[in-house]
Amino acid sequence: MKSNTLTHLLLLAVAPLLTDCSSASKSAATPASPAASVAVAGKGKAAAKAARSAADDLDDYETAAVADPLERVNRGTFWFNHQLYTFIFRPISKGYELLMPKPVRKGIDNAFENVKFPVRFVNCALQGKFKRAGQETGKFVVNTVGGIGGIFRPAERIPALANVPAEDTAQTFAKWGIGHGAYIVLPLLGPSSMRDTVGMVGDYALNPINWPYLYWYGDRSKHDWTTVPPAANTLRSLPDQLDTYDTATKDAVDPYLSARSTYIQNRAEAAKK
């Protein structure tokens, strides 16, 4: 009984992990870290080049500036998350990749992303992007019918439906002129902001994967099976999201600043599309 309760609590905490809150961060490049190595750079041209590099790196962080009044707490959470990613989620992710061949993982990812159609459609409509909402509908129909429930993505071979930028609730808030507010690092979930955290809740509610869990949460007799889809969604997301995290923090002098800058830049780029 205690084990069952612990499993439910863990799944409840982890279910949204890496599913809706950071999908827009996958494609952007990592900003360079501040060049603390300038002090050991050579003289003359080498020193000048290093100094310019340091200035450029600092400019990257300036560009991505966002209010961070909770930095001390955020850094503590960032450290805590890093331990979880390193010692718990990374081994789970590696096991998943070992058991599931890449084509199978790709099909699973496609199916889960296809099901998230309501998130994209509703937010396109809320932003007044009705043509894009129509494209999302077309993609969903083509991929569901022709792609065997979304396992394959035949819509990507149709020019009018290919490469449609995904929309989410936080992007809708940005379109409405709502700023980020304070930057915050969430336990398990990682970089976010006050605006994007509220947006994540909207995405979670709009994602059909979570509907059985939300609807049957109070019914203990049906609670067990309702945790399966959210848990599977979390598991299939781990490899890509850990790769994103590694890209943002690898070789950074200050991984916290690098992750923060990458996140804010990625969200800014996503809101422009």
The region of weakest confidence among 43-47, 116-120, 181-185, 240-244 is: 43-47
Confidence of residue 247 (pLDDT cuts 50, 70, 90): very high
Range of weakest confidence among 17-21, 27-31, 96-100, 238-242: 27-31
**Is 32 inside a domain boundary?**
no
Tell me the whole-structure pTM to 2 decimals.
0.76
Please report whether residue 185 resides in a domain: yes
SS3 184: strand
Average pLDDT, rounded, for the chain: 81
Q: Is residue 229 part of a domain?
A: yes
CA 158 to chain centre: 26
- Please tell me the distance from the alpha carbon of residue 78 to that of residue 257, in angstroms, as a whole number: 10
How are beta strands 183-186 and 190-193 bridged, if at all? antiparallel
pLDDT of residue 21: 43
pLDDT score recorded for residue 123: 98
**Residue 68 pLDDT greater than 50, yes or no:** yes
Through-space distance between the first and last CA atoms of the chain, rounded to whole angstroms:
48
**Residue 57 placed within a domain:** no
Say if residue 248's pLDDT is above 80: yes
Which range marks the domain in which residue 241 is found?
2-23+69-272
SS3 193: strand
- Contact status, residue 90 vs residue 242, Cβ threshold 8 Å: yes
Token pair for 141: 């129909």
pLDDT band at 215 (very low <50, low <70, confident <90, very high): low
Decide if 30 is inside a domain. no
Contact 8, 227 (CB under 8 A): yes
User: How many percent of the chain have pLDDT more than 70?
Assistant: 71
Question: Does residue 52 fall inside a structural domain?
Answer: no
Instruction: Check residue 273 and give its pLDDT.
Output: 85
Rounded to an integer, the average pLDDT of 25-54 is: 39
Within-domain flag for 232: yes
pLDDT at residue 32 is higher than 50: no
Greater confidence, 60 or 75?
75
Q: What is the pLDDT of residue 223?
A: 59
The total number of structural domains in the chain stands at: 1
Residue 62 lies in a domain: no
Amino acid at 38: V
SS3 at position 183 = strand
